[in-house]
Amino acid sequence: MSSVLDILRQSDEEGETASPFEEIDESDTAGPDDEDDDTAAIELEAEEEDTGDIRALRKRGKKHVPLEELPTLLRRSRARGQRAGVKKAQKAQPQKVKPRPRLPPNYIPPNTGARELFNKWTARDAKFVMRQDGHYYSVVEIPCKCQGTEKIAWLHIAKGEYTLFNVAVGESMTFLGNNATVTTNWTNLQRPSKNTYSDQEFLIQSITMQEAGLRVRYDGAEIDKIGGLGEAKGVLTGQAWLWDDAGTFLPKEIFHDFSGENLLYRTVRRSAVVYFNWDKARTGGNATSRKVLIDHLRNVPDTKVRTLSRTSGGAAVLPVPDGYVFTDNPERSEHGAFSALIHIPEDIAFPIRPIDLGSGAPIRPIEVGLYVQLSLNGIAFEHQKSSSVTA
């Protein structure tokens, strides 16, 4: 009868069993000092998986193993157990963590502006709140002077800078030369007095814009000659807002024939750029100013929505570089008094046709007022008010 070694060698060749010595040499098996550990490993291996040696012997009629052949089975079991232990140890070995790239010391990470403001307000003794849906808006008047005659006329928009965020609610201003008081229809910036500033600091994160209305002013003497106008006289002298795509009071060329789009507003968007400006000369500083170009006006998304909480639902906004701060108290601002500027680098001519308002002859307006609103969206830091509800 064949020996145990011969049977197992044949079963290894036929693929019925796998030789445990193919991956680990016999010389690498554990020595006497490791005998207890190796024995335990063999027993665990025998419990976890069937090596196939016993089945191969039984299949070939080997039901009893002589004592002198028993070491062969033990050597195979020991080698198999040691190989399994090595594999388990390799799997258990922790993977090396890839080192993170070290950033240069002069690199400024994103959102640094918000962290700096947060740390600045944290260092103060007074309690403060943050509003992440904050916004400020302001409207600017762009006067369009009418030139030419009653037969050939055009609106002239002069090149230059048109300033936003320079007036607050309750302050005096003019609409096409008419004295008026700033309301919330013009801006939400409020400065009741220098003693009641909230010292709010506002981190600008994005901007949007929209058309804010039109006004028209005709020669008052010419308007007085027309009978039956009644309250419309105030509209025709620039004292009221006006929407007139029918061309009754406003030149019809201002509006697109089919879409109703304000073409005067589109002309300004295509021709202007927007700046942010901080002026320390106005606040008793070192008579310096900082003027930063933001983008072309046509790249600022046009939207009818003011609050960031509503625009964040999918409406387009133009992100601005991190760190631009607007404060409601220019007297204490380290940055200076903030304003935004719409800069028109070249004169614009917009042809129109004078309108017959009822006198029997066309009359050209003295000027048309185009009003543009710019909104700043971002995070507001301000002192906690006594009426605020705390969490």
Predicted local distance difference test score (pLDDT) of residue 282: 55
Q: Which of 130, 138, 201 is nearest to 391 (CA)?
A: 130
Predicted local distance difference test score (pLDDT) of residue 58: 74
- Whether residue 190 is predicted with pLDDT greater than 60 in this model: the reply is yes
Predicted local distance difference test score (pLDDT) of residue 354: 92
pLDDT tens for residues 88-113?
776 777 777 778 778 777 666 767 77
- Of 7-16, 297-306, 331-340, 374-383, the range with the lowest mean pLDDT is 7-16
Looking at every residue in the chain, the average pLDDT score rounds to 78
pLDDT tens for residues 305-319?
444 444 444 567 888
**Is 206 in contact with 142 (CB distance < 8 Å)?**
no
User: Between residues 61 and 355, which one has the greater pLDDT?
Assistant: 355
Confidence of residue 280 (pLDDT cuts 50, 70, 90): confident
pLDDT tens for residues 38-61?
444 444 444 444 566 777 777 777
Distance (Å, rounded) from C-alpha 285 to C-alpha 337? 10
- Of 255-259, 296-300, 378-382, the range with the lowest mean pLDDT is 378-382
User: Between residues 322 and 188, which one has the greater pLDDT?
Assistant: 188
Number of Cβ atoms within 10 Å of the Cβ of 347: 11
Q: Is 41 left (phi over 0), alpha (psi -120 to 50) or beta?
A: alpha
Per cent of the chain over pLDDT 90 is: 26
Tokens of 289: 């100013």
Distance (Å, rounded) from C-alpha 384 to C-alpha 126? 8
pTM, entire model: 0.67
Distance (Å, rounded) from C-alpha 175 to C-alpha 112? 40
Confidence of residue 196 (pLDDT cuts 50, 70, 90): very low
Predicted local distance difference test score (pLDDT) of residue 389: 39
Predicted local distance difference test score (pLDDT) of residue 306: 44
Output the CA torsion sign for 301, 322, 328, 294. negative
